[in-house]
Amino acid sequence: DGRPPLIEVAGLSASYGRVAALKPVDLRVGEGEFVTVLGPNGAGKTTLLRAIARLVPGAGRISFRGQDISALPTHKVARLGIVMVQEGRGLFGEMTVRENLLLGAYGLGGAGEEIERRFATVFELFPKLRLRADQIAASMSGGEQQMLAVGRALMAGPQLLMLDEPSLGLAPRVASGILDTLGELNRNGLGILLVEQKAPLALKLAKRVYVLASGSVRAELPADQIGSHHDLARYYFH
Ligand code: ATP
């Protein structure tokens, strides 16, 4: 549509010591697009998201709406609205739901109308979080904790929401509830980059899918071209 992509990475690589977790990768998410990265264990999916969020150093170019952000520190990338929901959720277990949510909006300074608006939005999406606002995070179910992790990311006012296997460890019905919420956010215009290992979940909402294996993009496919018969594993091993 003529606009630069929401996020575009070109030749992005990252390593841990001598382990090349991410070989040069090209990928983009357009404005309002829902993109999924699918791949087996150890493919480099987490590293890809962490490199975009600048949580691990990477080489290559990362552009956000046409602006080169590859040299920005993590907090500035976050302030632009590139927000990641980490695998394992990264919640503060001993703090309440409300306190965890507030931490997501730390950039706003703790109080004010905008924070109240964001609380209202999150509570509308996840009514359970409102009911449990004063409950200690660690005492919530896995599904509720994942809602909280997504809610906290929303408190940061994301422009691009990146999620690392939000379905992990959740019952299928609970996972699919979380995905439905992501779909709703996307229909409201939020760009989403989702990392998944389970193909059915990954394909439900995405318009485009990247298959990542051994740190490289093996395929880029429109989601509607991947039927249930499609043998994705053939991209994984070669
Ligand atoms: P999973 O779904 O299992 O989390 P993934 O696709 O997210 O896998 P990454 O976690 O990005 O993959 O890992 C990619 C590679 O980098 C793997 O070989 C992994 O062992 C390695 N790796 C990841 N984190 C580190 C680290 N902190 N130190 C050393 N090697 C790491």
The pLDDT of residue 138: 94
CA angle 74, 78, 83 (to 5 degrees): 115
Q: How far away, in angstroms, is 37 Cα from ligand 1 center?
A: 15
- Reported confidence tier of residue 151, pLDDT bands at 50, 70, 90: very high
Q: Please state, as a whole number, how many other Cβ atoms lie within 10 Å of the Cβ of residue 34.
A: 23
Q: What is the band of 230 on the pLDDT scale with cuts at 50, 70, 90? A: low
Joined together, the tokens standing for residue 35 give 């993109």
Percent of the chain at pLDDT > 90 equals 68
Per-residue pLDDT of 21-32, as tens digits, reads 999 999 999 999
Predicted confidence (pLDDT) per residue in 53-68, tens digit: 999 988 999 999 999 9
- Nearest atom (ligand 1) to Cα of 215: 14
Best substitution site from 12, 13, 15, 16 to test ligand 1's pocket, by max atoms within 8 Å of Cβ?
16
Mean pLDDT of 215-226: 87
pLDDT value of residue 149: 95
Tokens describing residue 228? 């249930």
Nearest CA to ligand 1 atom 15: 21
Compute the distance between CA of residue 108 and CA of residue 236 in angstroms, rounded to an integer.
43
Contact 92, 82 (CB under 8 A): no
Q: Which pTM was predicted?
A: 0.93
Q: Name the pLDDT band for 228 (thresholds 50, 70, 90).
A: low
Ligand 1 near 88 CB (within 6 A): no
Cα 107 to Cα 172: distance, rounded to the nearest angstrom:
34
**CA distance linking residue 79 with residue 160, whole number of Å:** 11
CA of 144 to the centre of ligand 1 (A): 26
Nearest CA residue ID for atom 19, ligand 1: 42
Query: Token digits for 156?
Result: 């940061």
